[in-house]
Structure 1
Amino acid sequence: MKYFTQFWDEERDDEYADWGTSTWYFETNDADEVLKQITVYKNEKVTKYDEDHLEDEFGGLCEGTLTIDECDGDVISKEEFYKLW
């Protein structure tokens, strides 16, 4: 498993834009498929997605593959990821 983050310096473009900027946390497998995803917004709202909770009214689990290089993120530990999970 791989764990990394990506800071998003733009607000959402929907009715939740006032949530502010966000930091995204990803857990991916060896095939770079996103298994778990957490988004923490500036106003402290948090969304979480995995195979048991693919989407809700606020968003959904990233489809396809994703690597740290594609999102210019930072590597984090499994422990750091699961503190938020």
Structure 2
Amino acid sequence: MNYFTQFWDENRDDEYADWGTSTWYFETNDADEVLKQITVYANGKVTKYSDENLEDQFGGLCEDTLTIDECDGDLISKEDFYKVW
């Protein structure tokens, strides 16, 4: 498994734009498929997606493959990921 984050320095482009900027956390497998995804917004709102919750009114689990290089992310440990999860 791979664990990494990506900071997004723009607000959402919808009715939740006032949530602010966000930090995204990803767990991917060796095929670069996103298994779990967390988004933590500047206002404290947190969204979480996995096979158990693929989508809701705020968004959904990334359907594409993703690597740390593609999102210019930062590597984190499994433990750090699950502290947020």
TM range (shorter): over 0.9
**Amino acid in structure 2 at the alignment position of 1:21:** T
Divergent runs of 4+, >6 A: none
Report how far residue 58 of structure 1 moved: 0.2
TM-score by length of 1: 0.99
**Structure 1 partner of 2:21:** 21
Alpha-carbon deviation of 1:32? 0.2
Give the alignment of 1:1-85 within 5 angstroms. 1-85=1-85
CA distance in 2, matches of 1:56, 1:2: 24
| TM-score when normalising by structure 2 | 0.99
* Aligned-residue RMSD, C-alpha: 0.3
Question: Aligned partners of 2:74, 2:28: CA distance in 1, in Å?
Answer: 14
Number of equivalenced pairs: 85
Q: Distance in 2 between matches of 1:64 and 1:84?
A: 22
Equivalent AA in structure 2 for residue 76 of structure 1: I
Q: Give the Cα–Cα distance (whole angstroms) in 2 for the partners of residues 13 and 22 of structure 1.
A: 13
1:21-73 superposed Cα distances (whole Å, 9 cap, x missing partner): 00000000000000000000000100000011000000000012000000000
Name the aligned partner's letter for residue 22 of structure 1.
Answer: S
**Structure 1 gap ranges (5+):** none
Structure 2: state its 5+ residue gaps: none
Between the two proteins, what is the percent identity of the paired residues? 85
Instruction: Measure the CA separation in 2 of the matches of 1:65 and 1:7.
Output: 18
